[in-house]
Amino acid sequence: MCGIIGYIGFRSAREVLLRGLKRLEYRGYDSAGVAIVNEGIKIEKRRGYIEKLKVNFDGTLGIGHTRWATHGVPEDRNAHPLTDCHGKIAIVHNGIIENHMELKNELAEKGHKFLSDTDSEVIAHLLEELYEGDLKKAFFRMIKKLKGSFAIAAIHADERRIMAAKMESPLVVGIGDHENFIASDIPAFLEYTNRVMVLKDGEICELTDDFVRIYDFEGNKRDKKVKKVEWSIENAEKSGYEHFMLKEIFEQPRAVDETLHSLFSRNDMNFDFSKVIIVACGTSYHAGLVGKYIMEELLHIPVEVYYASEYRYRPNVRDNALALFITQSGETADTLGAAKKAREEGLLTMAITNVLGSSITNYVEYVLYTHAGPEIGVAATKTFTAQLASLYYFAIQQAKIRGMIGMRRYRELINGLRKIPYKIENTLVRERRIIKEAEKISKKRDIFFIARSINYPIALEGALKMKEISYIHAEGYPAGELKHGPLALISSGVPVIALAPLDRTYEKMLSNIKEVAARGAYVIGISSQDEVEKYVNSWIKVPDVEPIFSPFVNVVVLQLLAYHTARILGREIDKPRNLAKSVTVE
């Protein structure tokens, strides 16, 4: 899991590569490096953040890399770019070369000297072995020998071109005038061009100053449309917020609104299925759990929700099911593996993703795009509420198509959904109140989140956000389960965050709040109901919404609570330790 970039043109390659790497940093940040052609290939790479690089050379052609270690610990020698024995060829790689041991042994027997512990280094030596004065030819021969996942860019000291290839790791091309770019993600070059081509698995790309050519692995030329990116680089920057995460939390009204608008025009949702299997990881999994409650409520059909890493290895099952994959990045390896399996099982497949042309879109039959814009903070926020918006819309449409709800209820639900951006705005104004609570809980060792029914996944999401960025131990529980064990952990002063919307579980939630309060817990109640104030130590009022939509407002409070707790503790909020934005390894 890494970010790669390549540039060829007339600008300072050093500047383009370093600025691009900074924007790719969310993909990994344990080491970084650049290689620039300038009377040979000059390389600067080291362990640590991009800022540590001391690039005192320049040119107009180069490649760069920001790394999240998989093979080989984060050390200078394992940082990319990696070279062949003579330093004439340099490569950057994102992914895993599964047959690297076999290739390494063969190459070592032929005399190649390996300097790193990475799987990627075999690519440079393979190219060296196959090179006969033409990088392009060597690249085509090399690519056929690789097994695994990769986005690769390669350069040669004596040639003015970049060769790149994609297999199960993202790669996009930026088209300029007398300059071209290749990168793992669009923001890396968006300040220079908004004309992009999204590469598909099994494609090779040749970039020179004046042209970009796409081929399949057999060398056949492929036509590819150039798309215009509508969002600007400002969208991908912090716009004055202290962290991307905070900016992204505040972008939620727009993210939900734009997602809904794109869906309102879709009339291709007439699917035949009698069961839904939702598969995802992390925050997307929590969106899937909310989806289960919505679909069971509105469609009265069974919905199973799986962690992708579990679904991948379950026995094959015959089912008239819709398999729905939720992944904001569209690149999560576990989710892609699960989608592949669902296709093999013959299930109808659909994905919800935020990234145009991401890998998941090649694995499924139908795609619903969320329109949250790029999410840079490792902690998912706006993509989560945008995923929820898609799930609600999908379920409401299905309920109408199947005659499960009449026109009146349909309109009521759609109107309720349309108002969500405004309800989120009215929740965001509670920030100062939330900061006060964050100050208190930032001193605690454990935090519990409890809720029932459709808000139970929101309790899980609140706990995930809290542990992910504040590093405080946090657990989410269905409130009714407390008495079966977790209640033993509640003692004087332990914070319990309780979500209490006015739904059919409201009275039960009040009982659970009283239960933990009686054991001395410091209870923060999140509810639209004034009455809740009587039973809790602190009450955060949220806007009134129809209970089925309450996850939208509740999750915003929990995101802000986690954010401010982490900020008070001085954590690296956008880049929490040990994590990366898209997890492209199993």
Sheet holding 321-327, edge to edge: 303-307, 275-280, 321-327, 348-353, 366-369
Instruction: Identify the three-state secondary structure at position 163.
Output: strand
Burial of 577 (0-12, 13-18, 19+ CB in 10 A): exposed
**Interatomic CA distance for residues 265 and 364, integer angstroms:** 21
CA distance linking residue 248 with residue 36, whole number of Å:
34
Q: In the complex, what is the shortest distance from the CB of residue 583 to ligand M6R, in angstroms, rounded to a whole number? A: 5
Which residues inside 555-584 make contact with ligand M6R, applying CB under 6 A?
579, 582-583
Which of positions 379-398 make contact with ligand M6R (CB under 6 A)?
379-380
> Residue 371 CB, nearest distance to ligand M6R (Å)?
15
What number of CA atoms fall less than 13 Å from residue 306's CA on the CB side?
20
Q: Is 2 a catalytic residue?
A: yes
Which segment (194-202, 311-319, 377-385, 391-399) binds ligand M6R by CB under 6 A?
Answer: 377-385
Helices in 519-586 by DSSP H: which ranges? 550-568
The region of 203-211, 324-332, 485-493, 517-525 touching ligand M6R under the rule CB under 6 A is 324-332
Map 203-246 to HEC letters: EEEEECCCCEEEEECCCCEECCCCEECCCCHHHHCCCCCCCHHH
- Told to check if 378 binds ligand M6R by CB under 6 A, we report yes
Q: Which of 45, 166, 423, 581 is catalytic?
A: 581
Closest approach, Cβ 165 to ligand M6R, in A, equals: 23
The residue of the chain with the least Cβ separation from ligand M6R equals 282
* C-alpha pair distances (Å), 358 with each of 168, 303, 492, 505: 9, 26, 48, 39
Strand partners, 154: 91, 163
Nearer to ligand M6R, 80 or 465 (CB): 465
Smallest distance from the beta carbon of 328 to ligand M6R, in angstroms? Answer: 4
Q: Which of residues 237-296 bind ligand M6R (CB under 6 A)?
A: 281-284
Binding-site member from 94, 335, 349, 470 for ligand M6R (CB under 6 A): 335
The pair of structure tokens assigned to 557 is 């409070």
Distance of closest approach, residue 418 Cβ to ligand M6R, in angstroms: 25
Given the residues 2, 88, 281, 292, select the one marked as catalytic.
2
Taking the complex as a whole, the smallest distance from the CB of residue 446 to ligand M6R amounts, in Å, to: 20
Residue 581 known to be catalytic: yes
Residue 419 or residue 467: which is nearer to ligand M6R going by CB? 467
d(C-alpha 435, C-alpha 199), whole Å: 44
**329 counts as binding ligand M6R under rule CB under 6 A:** yes
Check residue 468 for interaction with ligand M6R (CB under 6 A).
yes
Residue 332 sits in the site that holds ligand M6R (CB under 6 A): yes
Only segment of 214-222, 375-383, 414-422, 498-506 that touches ligand M6R (CB under 6 A): 375-383
Q: Residue 313 CB, nearest distance to ligand M6R (Å)?
A: 18
Residues 198, 184: Cα–Cα separation, whole Å: 10
By the rule CB under 6 A, 323 interacts with ligand M6R: no
Contacts of 495 by beta carbon, 8 Å cutoff, 6+ apart: 440, 441, 444, 446, 447, 448, 521, 522, 523, 524
CB closer to ligand M6R, 82 vs 560: 560
- b/e burial code for range 498-528 (CB count within 10 A of at least 16 → b): bbbbbbebbeebbebbebbbeeebbbbbbbb
Of 281 and 396, which has the nearer Cβ to ligand M6R?
A: 281
Contacting residue, 309, 328, 390, 397, with ligand M6R by CB under 6 A: 328
Complex with ligand M6R: residue 118 or 328, whichever CB lies closer: 328
Q: Angle 382-401/282-299 helices, nearest 10 degrees?
A: 20
The interface region with ligand M6R, picked from 104-112, 145-153, 323-331, 561-569 by CB under 6 A, is 323-331
Q: Starting from the edge strand earliest in sequence, which strands make up the sheet with 522-527, in order?
A: 473-478, 446-451, 495-499, 522-527, 538-541
- Alpha helix positions (H), 265-381: 282-299, 308-311, 333-344
CB of 249 to ligand M6R, least distance (A): 12
The three-point CA angle 253-257-263 to 5° equals 150
What are the tokens at 172?
Answer: 């996009």
Let me know: does 4 contact 81? Beta carbons within 8 Å.
no
Applying CB under 6 A, the site for ligand M6R has a residue count of: 16
Stretch touching ligand M6R by CB under 6 A, among 60-68, 313-321, 329-337, 417-425: 329-337
Contact residues for ligand M6R, defined by CB under 6 A: 281-284, 327-329, 332, 335, 378-380, 468, 579, 582-583
Which residues form the catalytic set?
2, 581
